[in-house]
Amino acid sequence: MTHPPRLNAARLGGLPAAIERPTYDRAQVRCGIVHLGIGAFHRAHQAVYTEDVLKSGDLAWGIVGASLRSPDTRDALAPQDSLYTIAVRETAGETLRVVGSILEVVVAPEDPEALIARMSDPDVAIISLTVTEKGYCHDPATGRLDEAHPDVVHDLANPHRPRSALGFITAAIARRQAAGTRPFTVMSCDNLPANGQTLKGILSRFADLVSPGLGRHVREAISCPDTMIDRIVPATTDADRSHVAGVLGLTDAWPIMTEPFTQWVIEDHFVSGRPAWETVGATLVKDVAPYEAMKLRLLNGSHSALSYLGYLAGYETVAEAMADAAIAAYVAALMEDSTVTLTLPEGADVAGYKRSLIERFRNTALKHRTWQIAMDGSQKLPQRLLGTIRDRLARGLPVERHALAVAAWMRYVTGIDEAGQPIDVRDPLAAEFRSLADAAGQDAEKLVAALIGVRAVFGEDLASNAVFRTAVTTALASLFDNGAKATVATYG
């Protein structure tokens, strides 16, 4: 098969007329943001808002992206002048757009010093992050720095050759402080509860361990705004690549697939300025917490439930799982159960929000794999499901539906599916879960007792809560005996 020529700056003019593209002079754009964790999610979300700011004429906010591990994104984007396509897909059709806000991608492990130098540039006012939950080197149950984390230990011993986001940020803060450069804002765009505050706590503690003076400087000079970010971004497949090449007439080695919906709520606390994201659709507020809880508990809570139950029931994508009437009824009921625990944002139409979520999950044009969402459950469960369970328990409300989602996760991390086939469980604690599961066999009571004892996930309180334990055990026994499809039908 012959591929069309590569997408690049010189070829932008030859794109089909309908395809939106950068209209500003990219050579004039300065780097105001260094983004750590330059994956698909950033490219479908923050980079697009920032692209719109550049289009409006403020050229101070180009992005330099950094990969903390693999060179894949840099290798894909470098030959195409860091341009890439987003394909916005809905059941009714698709819109393509070429984005230019990313100026360059650097690969941190190849040259850690080069990244620290970039982050220390006086033009840089914001360090943003999408490093996924596990990238914070924290204890998900408490939100505190995990001081025994191998990356933390490594970075404290090698401050000039860090591996983790925390290590890079701290090195750049120290260097800027020493040089008298203005401080920057560190903006988490990950799905953590109170992501900014949590990051600030983790970062200050990390800096304390470098030196008490640096810890104080982080507390006093660095701002870490909370953000709520929302856009569904399934992993790109080779079929997506071929399709996009067909429409563009050019090869894009890494186009991004996403949905029409996008939302960004940001706490307006930036110590050295920010792009006018509010002029391009973002909402700047004082308090992100109500938005974030609504999104994490309704969208992500349902997503995790759908991923484990859907995978076990044999569904490859979220849309396929949602086409199963019993699963759809269960998800709707689960959302109702979560809603009572929320303090809603002022003026929020929560019923409309839930309807839109159901519609988004049903988007058949997005092939969002249940397996993809199932990843890293140990890092996701606390803020997506367990907080809701705690709140319902505190109010004396039943927790069966949420317990079923937790039980489905337990069934999933055994690593063997309902047909006896292996499951490729991706989780930093996968090996620990697997050995606990092997020891418990298909004994629901034993498996619940073992997994609930993992404090980093369940904390002390849930481990010793009899109501919770019974609800999870009942659900897990049914998953073992009757399978996911039959079980979920009794929880709707």
Q: How many CA atoms lie within 13 A of 193 on its CB side?
A: 22
DSSP 316: S
At closest approach, how far in Å is the CB of 372 from ligand CS2?
Answer: 6
Q: Which stretch binds ligand CS2 (CB under 6 A): 24-32, 117-125, 213-221, 372-380?
A: 372-380
99 binds ligand CS2 (CB under 6 A): no
Indicate the SS3 state at residue 258: strand
Residue type, 382: P
User: What is the Cα–Cα distance from 179 to 397, expressed in whole angstroms?
Assistant: 56
Q: Is 367 in the site for ligand CS2 (CB under 6 A)?
A: no
187 to 126, 130, 198, 200, 453: CA distances (angstroms): 7, 9, 11, 10, 33
Total residues contacting ligand CS2 (rule CB under 6 A)? 10
Q: How many CB atoms lie within 10 A of CB 416?
A: 16
> Is 373 one of the binding residues for ligand CS2 (CB under 6 A)?
yes
Least distance to ligand CS2, CB of residue 78, Å: 26
- Interaction of residue 191 with ligand CS2, rule CB under 6 A: yes
Site string for ligand CS2, 277-306 (x = CB under 6 A): ----------------------xx--x---
**What is d(CA 366, CA 370) in angstroms, rounded to the nearest whole number?**
12
For ligand CS2, the closer of residues 50 and 191 by Cβ is 191
Stretch that binds ligand CS2, among 145-153, 227-235, 436-444, 461-469 (CB under 6 A): 227-235
Nearer to ligand CS2, 230 or 400 (CB): 230
In the bound state with ligand CS2, the residue whose beta carbon lies nearer, of 49 and 184, is 49
Among 77, 96, 199, 232, binds ligand CS2 (CB under 6 A): 232
Task: Quote the CA–CA distance of 467 and 475 in Å, as a whole number.
Answer: 12
Q: In this structure, what is the dihedral angle of CA atoms 332, 263, 187, 267, given to the nearest 10 degrees?
A: -90
Distance of closest approach, residue 431 Cβ to ligand CS2, in angstroms: 21
Least separation in angstroms between CB 381 and ligand CS2: 11
Nearest-approach distance from CB 235 to ligand CS2, in angstroms: 9
Asked if 367 and 324 touch (Cβ cutoff 8 Å), the reply is no
Residue 419 φ then ψ, to 5°:
-95, 10
SS3 198: helix
Q: List interacting residues with ligand CS2 (CB under 6 A).
A: 191, 230-232, 299-300, 303, 372-373, 380
